[in-house]
Structure 1
Amino acid sequence: MAVLQTLLAVFRSILFTIAFYGGSVPIVIVAFIVLPFSRHRLQGMARGWGMYHYWCAWAFLGIRVRIEGPLPQGQVLYAIKHESFFETIELLRIFNRPAVVAKIELSRIPLWSQIARTYGMIFIDRAGGAVALRNMMTEVRRFVAEGRSIVIYPEGTSTPPGEQPPLQAGFAGLYKLAKLPVVPIALATGHLYPRRGFIKRPGTVIYRFGEVIPAGLPREEIEARVHAAINVLNDPARLENSN
């Protein structure tokens, strides 16, 4: 039975890969054409791409999404646990045109990186020191002034389920600069849609929106509260029971 389930998961993962990446190519091409003319349309296309990814995951992988807690209203700083590629596209579907802090490596993807920058991707070089941090803050200040919410993965990178690395130093600086309330989001995605590995499995992906944390708290307090809140679902034993 286990072998049959694995073979089925491989087959479904192949179908998903063909459908999602094959369908993404024309979306990227059209977005590149639209790029010089309308940032608003580009933001709409980004949300459409997120919805297409969700449909592919639902139709081919058997992945469902459950959101726990109310979605916040207004401009906020989203601090999100990061376990896989899944949530990086989902946030385009769930949130309203958020600006997203992402690792600098993504800026080296031809064509796509130009679209991402125009949409509102803020690329950060974690090895770039003070200069990279200042550049990120300049971009954040601009998007906050435009009324957009900001998304950051405060632990800095994707981690396997069960791991709880400390927050990166840049999070506290961004929190202080943005002067926005923080919405911490715990999630469980990596057990179904692993950050590395081709095979994906059916089940329920969970996003849990935590209590809104006000702006202006001391660094130690905001870091402790965010770290605790984004890791409340990080229990491997519980994940086994959620499939």
Structure 2
Amino acid sequence: MRYAIQWLRSVVFIVQMYVMMLLMGIAFLPWALLSRNGAVQAGRTYCKYVCWSAGWMVGLKTEVRGTPPRDEVMVASKHQSFLDIIMIFGAVPSGKFIMKKELLWAPVLGQYAIKMGCVAVDRGKRGAAIQKMLADVKAGAAQPGQLIIYPQGTRVLPGVKKPYKVGAAALYSQLGQDCVPVATNVGLFWPRKGIYRKPGLAVVEFLPRIPAGLSHEDFLAKLEDEVETASEALLHEGGFYDKDSNT
């Protein structure tokens, strides 16, 4: 019975979340058409709303730890669900994403992503996609902000290992900026697929910076070690391993 009630609450939460996306998208449209800042503030307002409504509608609290960057840096995060996108974008002042090309066709979301300066990537073309991504990032460098990337390239289930891709290192070298790693456990409560939202505390943690200037190999090794280690600690905190008596 408890599961059924929580499932129903999750359905209501998801429906209103997308309704509010449309309503806020329309409300902020005049400002967004005039300036990128209008689009960014629309996105940040929506992200904060989703976190607030998740807290009282489905019992899912959110917490941002560490120090979100305010200068021009690359933010490289673990990606488990839509919630880490929401929490990271809501925490930084002027975020823009490396995102899959298909999202440009999403109503409201796609139009605002273009205005914010997000870079769309065709993941099916591999090497060619990396070259186009680098060119697009270079072309959009005049728009200041925090470039948010997911170095594993896709959403990854909690506890699952997936390699970090070379495109992240290529961006790090081209930008010549510090990189701020981000760990998370949001997938425990907001899965990458499905409707059910589990009550609890979802955390996004901004970790100490990786300074600019490392080699590709050293950067990727350091990034993976720091993000995976911190994410594992957050999974433990969230109770992911409690079912294992030997953990």
Q: Alpha carbons of 1:208 and 1:35: their partners in 2 closer, same or farther (altered >3 Å)?
A: closer
Q: Secondary structure at the match of 2:93?
A: coil
Distance in 1 separating the partners of 2:132 and 2:138 = 10
Q: TM-score, normalised by structure 2?
A: 0.89
Q: Do 2:70 and 2:93's aligned partners in 1 also have CA atoms closer than 8 Å?
A: no
Identical aligned pairs, as a percentage? 26
Q: Alpha carbons of 1:131 and 1:241: their partners in 2 closer, same or farther (altered >3 Å)?
A: closer
1:32-61 deviation digits (Å, cap 9, x = unpaired):
454432222121111111111111111211
Q: Secondary structure at the match of 2:184?
A: strand
Partner of 1:239: 238
Structure 2 stretches of 5 or more lacking a match? Answer: 243-247
Distance in 1 separating the partners of 2:2 and 2:155 = 26
Distance in 2 separating the partners of 1:163 and 1:49 = 30
Q: Which of the numbers 151, 154, 163 marks the counterpart of 1:154?
A: 151
Q: Secondary structure at the match of 2:213?
A: coil
Runs of 4 or more above 6 Å deviation? none
Partner of 1:71: 68
What are the within-5 Å matches in structure 2 for residues 120-199 of structure 1?
A: 120-199=117-196
Residue 215 of structure 1: CA displacement?
0.7
Residue 152 of structure 1: CA displacement?
0.2
Q: Alpha carbons of 1:138 and 1:30: their partners in 2 closer, same or farther (altered >3 Å)?
A: farther
Q: Secondary structure at the match of 1:133?
A: helix
Please, what is the CA RMSD of the aligned residues? 2.1
1:132-154 deviation digits (Å, cap 9, x = unpaired):
32332233224433331110000
Q: TM-score, normalised by structure 1?
A: 0.90
Q: Do 1:144 and 1:150's aligned partners in 2 also have CA atoms closer than 8 Å?
A: no
Distance in 1 separating the partners of 2:121 and 2:5 = 39
Verify: 1:109 aligned to 2:110, yes or no. Answer: no
What are the within-5 Å matches in structure 2 for residues 41-52 of structure 1?
A: 41-52=38-49
Which shifted more, 27-36 or 40-49?
Answer: 27-36
Q: Which of the numbers 225, 229, 234 marks the counterpart of 1:228?
A: 225
Q: Secondary structure at the match of 1:141?
A: helix
Partner of 1:218: 215
Partner of 1:12: 9
Q: Alpha carbons of 1:166 and 1:116: their partners in 2 closer, same or farther (altered >3 Å)?
A: same
Q: Do 1:193 and 1:200's aligned partners in 2 also have CA atoms closer than 8 Å?
A: yes
Distance in 1 separating the partners of 2:141 and 2:176 = 9
Distance in 1 separating the partners of 2:34 and 2:67 = 35
Q: Alpha carbons of 1:60 and 1:111: their partners in 2 closer, same or farther (altered >3 Å)?
A: closer
